[in-house]
Structure 1
Amino acid sequence: MRIPRGAAGASPPVVSPFCCDQRVSIEYDYDKVDTSVWSSRGRGVWRYRELLPDVKEIVSLHEGGTPLIGAKLSEELGFRVFIKDETRNPTGSFRDRFMTVAVSYGLPHAENGFVIASNGNAAASLAAYSARAGKPAYTVVPRLVEEGKLNQITAFGARLIRYGESVDECIGYAEGLAEGKGLYNVTPESNLVGLEGQKTIAFELWEELNPTHVVIPTGSGSNLYSIYRGFVELLRIGVIDEVPKLIAVQAERCSPIASEVLGTEPRIEPTRALALYVRNPLMKELALKAIEGSGGTAVLVGEDELDLGQRLLAREGVFAEYASSVIVPALLKLAEEGYFEEDDRVALVVTSSGLKGQYSEGRERFSLGGTKLEILRLLSGRDMYGYEIWEALEKPLKYQAVYQHLRELESMGLIEESKKVGRRVYYRLSEKGRRFLGLYF
């Protein structure tokens, strides 16, 4: 079937048999696309409407047009690095690009509302866009989801359904709801129309940078494939000569895509980078096609590197969730291997805000000073009292200052009183303190 004629005289995309949430194949008449008109329009996803499905009504919260920030890391690495900050989208993630297209296109099919299976970001986005459209939304999310995303979902009035441990288990459930309740399914793995919105990241990167490499956090593979599709369309239009190398980054604990690229044994375990915990990505083959087709590669990042990545992005002025923070350790690994050249232009895609997660140790992780960290390390070995901690520190500070640090650490819940011997009060690490110390060492 064919989608009705597009805006501004663009030819309509050609679509394979399509009904609500089935996979589709979309093509445009690229000979008739004039990219020169884009610069006359405001920034955002719908700036590129010649390469988007035609819709009767646009449901938008002014998504897209996110900043491209020159990274200070460039000075240390010797080549140019830029941060594509998708945290600036309306609900704080790249999924808003997907949702404006999926909800706008699906509106005529969504008399009873929308449904989605998601590990958090896409569900929060649907909740916002369906609220804007005045339609009910059903969000099926796994047990392992950051609380900040759940807060967004419920705040926008969506129906929250918890099912299974990972998003893989949610997809079939959402499909059943779509069929049983007559809902329009906007699950990214099931709705390629919505992915047309995500490819606009590639268009924006081309307009501002024309990168040689793009580093992308990868869970289901949908964003990686979307960006690849966007660059392939620019190639077909004739405005670029080659597709930039796409670099997929996954957590070592959950690596079904990256491990196949690297020829290593995949692991399928929960990771603190929860948005990357996709055990059986349905878009794996498309993601692998994107990596191979662009001449790119993949990188694995360990759990002990997540906090470092988050802190280094924070120094750039960008607060990212763990699933986005993997891009910085990946960049450093490739740089150390000599993967990049001096004239390369590398774009790091930060997909989601750190505000969407909830970390009980968040404030301390960014503000705790060196002396307090040393005290925590001392207490990780054995229970100690104030004076012997002061002696063990071997630092030029008064012992009264040590007691001030102890009081502050106790108020943070990182240490606790273990016993009293006479007037001596012994301290030990609390369970929270042990978890926190594990983030640093």
Structure 2
Amino acid sequence: MRVTPLCCESSSSPIIPPFCCGQRVSVEYNYERVDPSRWRSREKGVWRYRELLPDVKEIVSLQEGGTPLLRAKLSEELGFEIFIKDETRNPTGSFRDRLVTVAVSYGIPHAESGFIVASNGNAAASLAAYSARTEKPAYTVVPRLVEEGKLSQITAFGARLIRYGESVDEGIGYAEGLADGKGLYNITPESNLIGLEGQKTIAFELWEELNPTHIVVPTGSGSNLYSIYKGFVELLRIGAIDEVPELIAVQAERCSPIASEVLGVEPRAEPTKALGLYVRNPAMKELALEAISKSSGTAVLVGEDELDLGQRLLAKEGVFAEYASSVIIPALLKLSEEGYFEKDDRVTLVVTSSGLKGQYSESRERFSLGGTKLEILRLIEDGEMYGYEVWEALGKPLRYQAVYQHLRELESMGLIEESRRKGRRVYYRLTGRGKKFLEMMG
């Protein structure tokens, strides 16, 4: 393994930042000496591809990687081949186990005081598990908005949980400061590229099993998208493939800093039910954009009201995914309707994390729903209403434009829906989910 360019401070630094002295940093290997035919005789998993991974003295593994590739029933309906790469089968239920096995194995000699990661949940849960195997402390910096299942994993494995900021972006610098102050080895991918070498093995597995033409990837920070791209570029360099498959980034409409740039629309940076994709200012944005551009790919935006559909359709395939992964199905359907795919294409959907850890429960809505929204729901419970009518009924010192914003947000949460229009008036009614929610509130 070699790092180019050499880092400004020290070429022997155990931390490999994405950028150094204004230049891109890249982890490279002696590609001329790599013979992929050797992989076939080895056990499946991340370390099967050790010639294209960092040298380590000790491998810390929970048998990650080698995840199933399932042919989707949707193939028959849509008229082209669709496959699901089910990363929920990893030891802690997400693709981040690939990152953490490499980062922890590489970092052990430099982690006398332990490890640290800034994460929106999955990498934190993974680090908690793998560091437990090393018997070294793990510090996890996670935002306030994170699913309960991931928090349960973190604490169950004995990691130290630090809540900081609303989104993971805010925690990255904080984790770097803690790493320096406490002598911790930082595996946060936005601070240290080493773990991405593990994530890229998704590309190697896909090549061995399918050699896809398109790969649809849920995208928050952009690290997984870039990792997969790097993996295929390395397959290109060793002569295993002739071209890189098209990479398709999928983001939630409410948080779309990468996809919006690809599509040329105004970006948004608001909380979404797909919390794993809530990254307001991704440090790896430029790397993700490069991956999309150089693979001739594209991006898709998915609305909040499409997340449940995506989760249900994946469940019909036998895969239970969190909302952050479920975006791939609505994205696939949109592209199919636009005629983006051809009948001989081989499309892979990457499911990054299990619904068992990422389900956005109604209990979360119960505690996050503001008083005004609850009042609006109770008003509409008595019968359909339009915005101005709701504003008058509230009788609050509140601008009526704010009421329309509340209505849009309640609609995006699936609690109300448009019932009819009369001229410029849009009438709303409760959905079944909205009725159930109010019953739960008592």
Name the CA distance, whole Å, in 2 between partners of 1:107 and 1:431.
52
CA contact (8 A) 2:140 2:159 kept: yes
In the superposition, the TM-score normalised over structure 2's length comes to 0.80
CA contact (8 A) 2:175 2:186 kept: yes
CA contact (8 A) 1:213 1:246 kept: yes
Within a 5 Å distance, the mapping from 1:29-428 to structure 2 comes to 29-361=30-362, 380=381, 382=383
Letter in 1 for 2:187: V
Consecutive aligned runs of 4 or more in structure 1 exceeding 2 Å deviation = 12-22, 357-362, 379-383, 428-437
Secondary structure in 2 matching 1:164: coil
Name the CA distance, whole Å, in 2 between partners of 1:208 and 1:28.
23
Letter in 2 for 1:347: T
1:361 Cα deviation from its structure 2 partner: 4.6
CA contact (8 A) 1:120 1:275 kept: yes
CA contact (8 A) 2:15 2:194 kept: no
Name the CA distance, whole Å, in 1 between partners of 2:2 and 2:16.
16
Letter in 2 for 1:53: P
Superposed CA offset, 1:76-135 (max 9, x none): 000000000000000000000000000000000000000110000000000001001111
Superposed CA offset, 1:33-66 (max 9, x none): 0000000000000000000000000000000000
Name the CA distance, whole Å, in 1 between partners of 2:436 and 2:39.
49
Secondary structure in 1 matching 2:319: coil
1:191 Cα deviation from its structure 2 partner: 1.3
CA contact (8 A) 1:20 1:185 kept: no
Superposed CA offset, 1:143-174 (max 9, x none): 00000000000000000000110001000110
1:21 aligned partner: 15
Gaps of 5+ in 1: 1-11, 363-378, 384-413, 415-427
Name the CA distance, whole Å, in 1 between partners of 2:192 and 2:201.
16
Secondary structure in 1 matching 2:329: helix
Secondary structure in 1 matching 2:325: helix
Name the CA distance, whole Å, in 2 between partners of 1:381 and 1:230.
56
Name the CA distance, whole Å, in 1 between partners of 2:129 and 2:312.
29
1:358 Cα deviation from its structure 2 partner: 4.2
Secondary structure in 2 matching 1:298: strand
Structure of larger gyration radius: 1
Count of aligned pairs: 368
Name the CA distance, whole Å, in 2 between partners of 1:198 and 1:329.
24
Gaps of 5+ in 2: 18-24, 364-379, 385-414, 416-428
Name the CA distance, whole Å, in 2 between partners of 1:429 and 1:83.
35
Name the CA distance, whole Å, in 2 between partners of 1:282 and 1:431.
39
